[in-house]
Structure 1
C-alpha cells in the first residue's frame, strides 16, 4: 500500500460507528477506502448492514486530518501497517469477520507459514501454573511454534518469556497504541520481544486507554492462532472471553484442568465440562490435535544401532519392542517412571525418529 491508501484506510477507521465489519462491506462495494469517501452517502446507505446512522459523520474533514497525524506518527516510528487485503496481513486473521481492517506492527513479526498458538490465562498465575506454561512451551519448541499472548501480568508474560528462553518467535497483542506499554513494569521485556517477534495492535497512538480495549484486543489473540490454550482462569476473566472468541472462529481451544476446589481452575474446568475446550495434560495433546509433524527425517532401518538413547529412553525402547503399541500411562507404569517424565522422554525419542505418537496418547516404535 502507498501512503495515500493508508491515509484513507486510517480515515475510515476514524469514523465512529462504522467498525471493522462495516468498513469491510464499504470497501468491498466501492473497491477502496478512498472510493468510500468519494461515493454518495445515499448509495452507501443501501449496502446491506450499513444504513444512514453509520454514515452520519463520514464526510467530516476531521477524519482525514486525524489520519494525517496518525500517519505521521507511523512514519516517524517505522511502524508497519498490515491491511486486511494485503499479502502481509496475518492469514488466519483474514478469515475472521471482525478482524481489523488495519493492524500496526513493530519488531520483526513473521507469521507466514508458521504454526501459531495463543497462550492465555489469569494475571494471578500460580507457581504450578507458571511451571506448566514453561514446560508446555519448552516441550513444544521442537515444533517451532509462534507463541501469541497479550503481554499482561501473569500467564501472558510467562508465555512470552518462555518463548524467548526457547528461542521461539513471540507476538504481544496490545490493548493500546504502539506509543506506550502497559503494564509499565514490562517495558524491560520490550526489546527482547521485538528481537524475537514483536507487537501487534489495531489501536492508534491517540487511543484513550480503557479496560474495554482488552476485550477488543482478545479477538486478535484468538484470530491469529490455530489454537488458544488457557492455563489457569477463575470463573470469570478475559481469557475465557478469548476462548469463546476462538470457538466462534472454529479454532481449537485447550484448557488445563485443575482441582475443583482451586479458584483459578474453575474457568478451565468449566470450559472442559461445557465442551468448549479440550483437556490439555501434555504437549502431545496440542501437537496431535493440530496435526503437527516434527521436521526431522524419520529413519526406521536399524534405528537401535544408529540412534543414541540414554538409560531411561532405552528402557522405554525395550518395553515397546516387546509390547507393540501402548498407552502413555501403561508405558510409565511398566517402565517405573513418572508420567510427566515419560512424556518428555517420548518426545525426545520422537525427535530422534525412534517412536511416533498415535491417537489417544498411544505410542509405538517406528
Structure 2
C-alpha cells in the first residue's frame, strides 16, 4: 500500500496535534516520517504502535523518542499553534489534508506539515516560480515586477521566497494581477524575514498566501532557506530565473526545478554583468531563454494571449525613449569617462543630462563610475 493510500484524513479536527508531535520528534525528519506513515498510517496510529514494530523500521533511539510522552516544549508549541490556528486565515495542512498542494506531492521530499496564512485556494492554482538575486540591479527588479505582473494578469499564480531583491519584486508585480502570489518563507509563519518586507508580507497574507514548513517561532536560520527553495519550485509548473550571479542560491532552485521535472526559464543579460552569469549558465545547460512573459505562457501551454491593454506583453527592450545619450550608452554598463569621450560633451553638460535621465528612471548609476541603461515600459 502506498503513502497516499495509507493517509486517509480523519474527521478529528484535532489530529494536527499528532502531526505536530511527529514533526517535532527528535530524529524524525521528513524522510523518516514519510516512511513511518507509509508503514503504519496516520500519526495517531504511529504513536499507538509497539516499540518492537517501530524498531523494525527506524533506529532504536528514534523508536524510543516516538513513544515518549510529549514534553513541556512540545506542549507549549501545541498551545502556541492552537492559538495561531484560532486566528482567521491561518491553516495547518498535513500530507493527509485534501487541501495539501497536489504539485508538492509529486516532489521527492514534500514537507509533512505546511503552515499557511491567507488564501489557501491559491495552492492549487497553476503557478510559475520567479526567483533571482537578493542584490538585484534596478533592471532586474523591473524585469521581475513586469514579468510577474503579466503572468498574474494571465491568471497564473507567482511563487517566490519573500527575500529582498528579485523575490520581493516578483511578489509586488504579481499582486497587481488576478493570479496573485505565494510567498514560501524560511522562518515560522509568525515571523517576517527580512523585516523590511513586513508591509509586503501583510499584503500577501491579505491578497495571496504565505507558506512555511517550519514550526511557529522558528527564526531565520541560514540552512532553512536553500531547503525552502524545493517548495517554491515544487508548487510551480515552471521556474523563471530573472537575475543571478554564478554562485547564486537561485541556481539551487533552478536545479531542484529541473530534478522535479519543471520547465526552467532564464532572462539573458549583458555579458559584462556579474548578475547575468547565472542565467547564461542555465541557458547553456538547457534552460529556455525568454524575452517576454508570452514566451513562458506559450511554453507551459497557456491559452492566454496577452493582447489586451491589461495583458500587454512585456518584452525587454521595448518602448524606450529616444535620447542621444541612451543610444551611446547602449545596453552594457559603461564608464562615465568613456561616455564623455564618445558623446563629446563636457563633464558639466554630461552630468546634468545623466542626472535628468536617472531621475526619469532611464539609467542607473553603478559603483566605480559605471552607468547602466534601464529598460522599462
Query: TM-score with structure 2 length normalisation?
Result: 0.74
Q: CA deviation at 1:59?
A: 2.1
Look up the match of 1:287: 297
* Aligned partner (choices 157, 165, 169) of residue 168 of structure 2: 157
**Can you list the C-alpha shifts for 1:231-265, whole angstroms capped at 9, x where unaligned?**
11111122111111111111111111122221111
* Aligned partner (choices 52, 55, 71) of residue 45 of structure 1: 55
Look up the match of 1:17: 27
Matched, 1:192 2:192: no
Look up the match of 1:359: none
2:131–2:239 CA contact under 8 A, matched in 1: yes
Task: Tell me, in whole angstroms, the C-alpha distance in 2 between the residues paired with 1:136 and 1:71.
Answer: 36
When residues 43 and 338 of structure 1 are mapped into structure 2, their CA distance, relative to the original with a 3 A threshold, is: closer
Higher mean C-alpha deviation, range 170-179 or range 55-64: 55-64
Higher mean C-alpha deviation, range 99-108 or range 281-290: 281-290
Look up the match of 1:330: none
> After TM superposition, which residue ranges in structure 1, 4 or more long, deviate above 6 angstroms?
none
1:84-99 map, 5 Å:
84-99=95-110
Q: CA deviation at 1:167?
A: 4.1
**Can you list the C-alpha shifts for 1:99-146, whole angstroms capped at 9, x where unaligned?**
111101111232365220111100111111122222212333442110
2:34–2:112 CA contact under 8 A, matched in 1: yes
When residues 164 and 32 of structure 1 are mapped into structure 2, their CA distance, relative to the original with a 3 A threshold, is: same
Look up the match of 1:214: 225
Task: Tell me, in whole angstroms, the C-alpha distance in 1 between the residues paired with 2:207 and 2:316.
Answer: 34
2:291–2:316 CA contact under 8 A, matched in 1: no
**Can you list the C-alpha shifts for 1:1-47, whole angstroms capped at 9, x where unaligned?**
63431100000000122211221121121111011111123322323
Task: Tell me, in whole angstroms, the C-alpha distance in 1 between the residues paired with 2:182 and 2:23.
Answer: 23
* Aligned partner (choices 94, 100, 118) of residue 111 of structure 2: 100
Matched, 1:166 2:177: yes
Which runs of 5 or more structure 1 residues have no equivalent in the other structure? 297-306, 314-336, 342-366
* Aligned partner (choices 145, 150, 162) of residue 156 of structure 2: 145
Task: Tell me, in whole angstroms, the C-alpha distance in 1 between the residues paired with 2:37 and 2:141.
Answer: 44
SS of 2:117's partner is: strand
2:119–2:209 CA contact under 8 A, matched in 1: yes
Look up the match of 1:269: 280
Look up the match of 1:202: 213
1:167–1:196 CA contact under 8 A, matched in 2: no
When residues 183 and 67 of structure 1 are mapped into structure 2, their CA distance, relative to the original with a 3 A threshold, is: closer
Look up the match of 1:358: none
1:137–1:162 CA contact under 8 A, matched in 2: yes
Supply the RMSD in Å over aligned alpha carbons. 2.6
Look up the match of 1:304: none
Paired residues in the alignment total 302
SS of 1:288's partner is: helix
1:125–1:155 CA contact under 8 A, matched in 2: yes
Which runs of 5 or more structure 2 residues have no equivalent in the other structure? 1-9, 320-377
When residues 112 and 180 of structure 1 are mapped into structure 2, their CA distance, relative to the original with a 3 A threshold, is: closer
Query: TM-score with structure 1 length normalisation?
Result: 0.76
Q: CA deviation at 1:188?
A: 1.5
Matched, 1:183 2:194: yes
* Aligned partner (choices 57, 66, 80) of residue 58 of structure 1: 66
Task: Tell me, in whole angstroms, the C-alpha distance in 2 between the residues paired with 1:266 and 1:308.
Answer: 34
**Can you list the C-alpha shifts for 1:142-194, whole angstroms capped at 9, x where unaligned?**
42110111111000110111011234311111111122111111112233212
